[in-house]
Chain A
Amino acid sequence: MKEKIGPDYPVIESHEGGSILLTKLDDLINWARSNSLWPLTFGTRCCAIEFMAVGASRHDFSRFGMEVARATPRQADMIVISGSINYKMAPVLKRLYDQMADPKYVMAMGACAISGGPFYYNSYSIVKGADHVIPVDVYIPGCPPRPEAFLYGLMQLQKKIRHERYFSKKKVTK
């Protein structure tokens, strides 16, 4: 029976002992990526103050690897949308996201970024959720979320990254 394989990602046939190298390589890469996520300095509303408070000395996110916040999107790994997004700000956000290099991750922090938050009803200029503009990986609820909630969301993102598979993708059979 002919097996249909997808076009151009590296696939290893399963023979004895061959694919262990590639899964271990994947694990190494995921460990490195998840433990050194550098965010972009992007904050619009009150959640930006809580983001700064998470970076300060009491709850410290540099224990998790988010050591430095880069000012330019070309050097950043992730963007934390902390605050509400406006119809005027949405093209700016999209442009920042496009300027980031892959692999890039997005966290939506706070009720405004998830769904428009307190501005959902009767406001004419707030986008009802940042995921109308860019794809979001993790949503952290709260208004503003506590620093512990932010760290939990960060750990969920790290868990999501650890499940990625690039070199050792499974075969696609038909």
Chain B
Amino acid sequence: MEEIREIMLSSDDIKTDDYLVNMGPQHPSTHGVLRLLVKLEGEIVLNVQPHIGYIHSGIEKMTESLAYHQIPHLTDRMDYLSAHMNNEAVSMCVEKALQVEVPERAKYIRTIFNELQRIASHQLWWCAFGMDMGALTTFFYGLRDREDILDIFEETCGARLTLNYSLPGGVQFDIHPNFQRDVKAFIKKFRAKLPEYERLLTGNVIFRERTKGVGILTKEDAIAYGVTGPSGRASGFSCDVRKKEPYGAYPYVKFNEIMGTDGDTFTRYHLRILEMYESMNIIEQLIDNIPEGDYAVKLKGVTKLPEGEYYQRVETGRGDFGVYIISDGKKNPYRMKFRSPGFSNLFAINNIAKGWKIADLVAIMGTFDLVIPDIDR
């Protein structure tokens, strides 16, 4: 009895060791096939090493044998929650190289689809984030409103998730006659629902305790690690491509770039909710003013880009997505590189999560909004 008491009281010379825990490729809260090797001391995280490559498909090599009007169909499958924004990035890069001007109607349609896709992507993020934190209600609420947006997509494009809508020259088909009516009805309904959803998590005491002050990313780190999108803006890094290099119909709308200063998990969460309001403002400014005209410009039969290098950036739900084409004058690209925002965002997590507990690691990963096929391409 005395010996047991002694052992329990003299904890200074108990030898402890760190151990490695594998949050494996199949895990409900890694949002895809991501493997994290977490070095723990008790419950405190010492080091996080991501292992990726479990969904690597070789898309960059595949584009070297495809024609330019076939490549946008493949980019849908990369970051599938911002499928239309990826399509638009590739189409705009090709149009920039050929110096083709897209008709105004196509620009307005593309921008409205971008913002609808952004709302759908943030809704899915919100539902998965709530589930990670243990609140199952958000799963059902988030996906319920997303279904309305997917109905709108399906009327015009024929598909719910992988849209295949923008091609070099414009869009593939004209919008459905019911498009404007449906979008206006959706916005009216969603504006009433979003404050309700905010009340679920934002004012909740448990949620605030788990997220306020957790996982702080400073502005210098955000710039050094290349963290863009809502995660970077929450730290004060002004990186919205829609403001810096406006494209499509963004020069014609007035909207705010939502920034935060703290850089913690709560700010990253709250910023995305506020971005959904801004997206609705943008759609409302554009939906009644879609100009008449053609929806696409016909390109010649076989598109050959002139020699040179072209880069185009767009703002997806995750951050700054870039398309870089090196062309040697033939009908396939010589080298095509996709700069994916998730890749830079993921490798900044090691810096942030040191010293926090493993439950905080799940919260931090949730707010970075990772989509793994975007990282692995």
A residues at B contact (CB < 8 Å): 40-46, 48-50, 52-53, 56-58, 71, 83-84, 86, 88-89, 92, 96, 118-119, 121-126, 143-144, 146
Q: List residues 3-50 of chain B with CB under 8 A from any CB of chain A.
A: 24-28, 32-33
Which segment, of B53-61, B100-108, B204-212, B233-241, faces chain A? B53-61
- Shortest C-beta distance, B284 to chain A (Å), equals 26
| B53 engages A58 (CB within 8 Å) | no
Residue B359 lies at the interface, judged by CB distance under 8 Å to chain A:
no
Q: Give the Cβ gap from A125 to chain B, nearest Cβ, in Å.
A: 5
CA distance A58 to B61 in the complex (A): 39
Return chain B residues, CB-CB under 8 Å to A52.
139, 143
Q: Are A46 and B161 in contact (CB under 8 A)?
A: yes
A-B contact pairs, 25 of them (CB 8 A): A43-B32, A44-B33, A44-B55, A45-B80, A46-B80, A46-B161, A48-B32, A49-B81, A49-B124, A53-B143, A53-B147, A53-B160, A56-B143, A71-B27, A84-B55, A86-B55, A86-B56, A88-B53, A92-B24, A122-B61, A122-B66, A123-B57, A124-B58, A144-B160, A146-B160
Is B54 touching A144 in the complex (CB atoms < 8 A)?
Answer: no
Indicate the size class of the contact surface on chain B. 35 or more
Whether the Cβ atoms of B54 and A92 lie closer than 8 Å is yes
Distance to closest chain A CB from B54 (angstroms) = 4
For the residues of A in contact with B, the DSSP-based class is loop
Give the residues in chain B near A57, CB-CB below 8 Å.
140, 143-144
A45 to B25, CA, bound (A): 13
Among the listed A49, A125, A126, which residue makes an inter-chain contact with B80, where contact means beta carbons less than 8 Å apart?
A49
Q: Which of B54, B65, B81, B146 contacts A88 (CB 8 A)?
A: B54
Taking CB atoms, residues of chain A closer than 8 Å to B27 are: 71
Instruction: Give chain B residues whose Cβ lies under 8 Å from the Cβ of A92.
Output: 24-26, 54
Smallest CB separation, A150 vs chain B (Å): 12
Q: Are B144 and A58 in contact (CB under 8 A)?
A: yes
Known interface pairs A57-B144, A58-B147; A45-B56 also in contact (CB < 8 Å): no
Cross-interface CB contact of B146 among A53, A71, A84, cutoff 8 Å? A53
Provide the residues of chain A in CB contact with B140, threshold 8 Å.
56-57
Contact residues in B for A118 (Cβ distance below 8 Å):
73-74, 77
Interface residues of B in 59-85 (CB under 8 A from A): 59, 61-62, 65-66, 73-74, 76-77, 80-81
A123 B162 Cβ-Cβ under 8 A: no
Q: What residue of chain B has the Cβ atom nearest to residue A117's Cβ?
A: B77
A68: min CB distance to chain B, Å = 11
Give every chain B residue within 8 A of A125 (Cβ-Cβ): 56-58
Instruction: Take A50-B161, A56-B144 as given contacts and tell me if A126 and B74 are in contact as well, using a CB distance cutoff of 8 Å.
Output: no
Tell whether B232 is near chain A: CB-to-CB under 8 Å: no
Q: Answer whether residue B170 sits at the interface, using C-beta atoms and an 8 A cutoff.
A: no
